[in-house]
Amino acid sequence: MDYESDRKRIESIIAKVEWSLHDKSSLEIAEPSKYLGWTFFKISLDVAFIVKMAEVYEGLMNTEGWTHYEKFENWLS
């Protein structure tokens, strides 16, 4: 896993979404941590921003998941 590359890719995706929604996301990406041989990092966004994304991007609501959080995570993947 290349944390810096993935972080930049996520920032780029969210920046494009912010531009299209004319809104800020309050994006925060935590430093990576290792657990049982896997590397994880947390991505934090304002809930209102995710809801606004769901209202505009139909594909987000059609993504698998029960909550906006799960749908966003799968959409971003």
Q: What is the distance between the alpha carbons of residues 35 and 40, in angstroms, rounded to a whole number?
A: 8
Reported as a pLDDT band with limits 50, 70 and 90, residue 27 is very high
Rg of the chain in Å (alpha carbons)? 13
Reported as a pLDDT band with limits 50, 70 and 90, residue 1 is low
SS3 32: coil
Q: What share of the chain is helix, strand, coil (3-state, %, to 5)?
A: 55, 15, 30
Quick one: 53 exposed, middle or buried, by C-beta within 10 A (0-12, 13-18, 19+)? Answer: buried
Mean pLDDT for the stretch of residues 42-64: 84
Indicate the number of domains in the chain. Answer: 1
